[in-house]
Structures are given as structure tokens and as C-alpha cells.
Structure 1
């Protein structure tokens, strides 16, 4: 993948298997936090809002949704892992054969946005 200049470019350059998941994650972020500023940072899509951010990244077999340790607690990780998703301290991996856990990610993202708004 070349260095993208836009999120559209990033998605277009991603492997065909990754594109639907990336589009769905993009839509999830922009619909949940419409004030988020979309851009590229560290060569991946980033969404900045109220002094915080989230990002999405395409890998060979999965997309990663980086939401941050401030929003992804151990109970959240346990719940997502029980649903079949791999998680890290700050991330959720979504295999291209898996459905995006829309309800869970929307809940986490909305809570992160609300906490950031309140911290301003």
C-alpha cells in the first residue's frame, strides 16, 4: 500500500477483502461522532474529536479499530473476546470474515466522545 493522502485513497489502495470492513468502520465513526475530523496520520485513517482520536488500519487478514485504553476496559475486551474478536490494550481486531461488532463499537465510541466532550 502506498502512502495515502486521504481516507478514500487508503480504502481504495487496501486489499479488496479489507474494503467493506474499512468502509463500515468509517461509517460507524462518522455517524457516531459526526464532528470528528477525518484525516490520515501515521499513514492510516484517523478521526480526531474533542482532543482525542480513533483510527482504523487494514492488515492482511483483519482490520484493527484503535480506540484507546481510555475507552477499552478489561470488561469490554472480555465481552468482545467472548464474541470471537481479538483485542489488545487499545485495539479490536475484526477479521474480514467476521461481522463488525457495530453495537459494541458504537457504544464504546459514543462513551469515548462523551467523556472527551465533558473534559473540554
Structure 2
């Protein structure tokens, strides 16, 4: 379900394995996901996503780069969808900024 949700909301992203876990790449690393005994982890490279979705993430264990989604609760697919779209937009903006700086 997580993979499909990410693919639907980042259709141009490339699926890769990075750090030995599944990930999506789109103008840089977009989002990682992995399963553990008691949770699924969504890992996002340094991003404004954690501040932007702070209220929505308050029910989950969140570190500086990962969100733990307990297996005993329904997956927050709407939240994953929104964070994925946010990351796509964020990475596009970063790519444009880098492109602009190279022209200078």
C-alpha cells in the first residue's frame, strides 16, 4: 500500500534501493520506506516536511529523519500521499534553484 501510494503521487519518480531499503528518487532522494517487527518506517532526507506536517505527525514517533508507523494502527495513506506530493514539489524547487545558480 505504501509503495502504490508513493508511485501514484510521484509517478515520475524512479524506484531504487538505497541504504539497502526501497526508495524513490526524483531530482534527488525523495522518500524511503522499510518494514520492521512492530512498525513501518518512512524516512525522508532533510526536508521541511517534518515542520509542515508537524500536527499530523504528532501521533507518531518521529526522529530527525524517520517516522514510525505502528503496525497495530491503520496506515495513514492520506498523510503519505500529502507528504509525497510535498516532497516532489520540494525537490523540483531545489532542482530549479540549483539550475539557476549554475547559470549565474
TM-score range, shorter-chain basis? 0.7 to 0.9
Q: Is 64-73 or 86-95 further displaced after alignment?
A: 64-73
TM-score (norm 1): 0.69
4+ residue runs of structure 1 moved beyond 4 angstroms? none
SS at structure 2 position matched to 1:73: helix
State the match for 1:7 in structure 2: none
User: How many equivalent residue pairs?
Assistant: 95
Query: Is 1:38 matched with 2:21?
Result: no
State the match for 2:75 in structure 1: 100
State the match for 2:61 in structure 1: 86
State the match for 1:112 in structure 2: 87
Q: C-alpha root-mean-square deviation of aligned residues, in Å? A: 1.7
Counterpart mapping for 1:59-70 below 5 A: 59-70=36-47
Question: Unmatched 5+ residue regions in structure 1?
Answer: 1-23
State the match for 2:49 in structure 1: 72
- Rounded Cα–Cα distance in structure 1 between residues aligned with 2:93 and 2:51: 23
Deviation at 1:79, TM superposition (A): 2.8
TM-score (norm 2): 0.79
SS at structure 2 position matched to 1:53: strand
Deviation at 1:49, TM superposition (A): 0.6
* Larger RCO, structure (CA 8 Å, separation 6 or more): 2
| Contact persistence 1:67–1:109 (CA under 8 A) | no
